[in-house]
Amino acid sequence: MANSSECMRKNIVLIEDEPDIAELISMHLEKAGYGVTVFSNGAGFLQFMEANTPDLVLLDLMLPDIDGLEICKNMRKRSELSAMPIIIVTAKNKERDKVLGLELGADDYMTKPFSPKELVARVKAIFRRQMSAEQEADCIDVGGVLLLDLAKHELTVRNTRIELTYTEFKILELLAEKKGWVFSREKILHQIWGEGKTVIDRTVDVHIRHLREKLGADARFIRNIRGVGYKLEEF
């Protein structure tokens, strides 16, 4: 089964025997916030799967030891792996191969050469489809890097829990719920502290400064719009 918590970083396994391609794909997936484990052959992957449950598998078909289609078939036969998303990534571009891959239970198919960005987009699309509306409402994902668990009031950044104060979390949640929207200090004060509270505008700056310090390099998501306020932006 896939990770039970939707608020955890997704882990992807890549089975690819060409080192250059493996490196290129890994780099793009990691940049998008995913954890990546690479195997250059089928046997190593199958052994790994005895004790691990990644969230998605990217599978090359022409491997040195086992045919990728056999791996796909093998996974689908095991009940605990039957729902794990599989994307086939291969140089085989005949219609027949694609159909066979999909019939064996792959969720998607990409032909080499391909755009790594498109691959990342397809991975994201699969995770989006997987996530029910309810789960989605309980969790906000910012750029695949910041994960806010709204029920537990927890922030996870690249698989590491970051301790935030209640106010810091509420400010981050407010900005993250409407990515790209600029919130004035006044608006933030109103939303977090409510009306009629005597809190000065600078309070927002102080909390945001603390929040940014805790986020370190990932503070880049929180943008200060001079003279207007703050926004959270994915890029």
Of 17 and 233, the one with the shorter C-beta distance to Ca ion is 17
Site for Ca ion in 35-94 (CB under 5 A): 60, 62
Nearest to 217 by CA among 165, 145, 167: 145
Segment interacting with Ca ion, rule: CB under 5 A, options 15-23, 34-42, 103-111, 166-174: 15-23
Measured CA to CA, the distance from residue 47 to residue 185 in angstroms comes to 53
Segment interacting with Ca ion, rule: CB under 5 A, options 16-24, 25-33, 79-87, 138-146: 16-24
Measured CA to CA, the distance from residue 59 to residue 107 in angstroms comes to 11
Of 60 and 168, the one with the shorter C-beta distance to Ca ion is 60
Of 62 and 121, the one with the shorter C-beta distance to Ca ion is 62
CB of 51 to Ca ion, least distance (A): 25
Of all helices (H) and strands (E), which one includes residue 131?
Answer: none
Size of the site for Ca ion (CB under 5 A): 3
CB of 45 to Ca ion, least distance (A): 13
Helices (DSSP H) in the chain: which residue ranges?
19-31, 42-48, 68-77, 95-103, 116-130, 133-137, 166-177, 185-193, 201-215
> DSSP of 200-218, one letter per residue?
-HHHHHHHHHHHHHHHGGG
Residue 112 in contact with Ca ion, rule: CB under 5 A = no
Of 14 and 175, the one with the shorter C-beta distance to Ca ion is 14
| Residue ranges in contact with Ca ion by CB under 5 A | 17, 60, 62
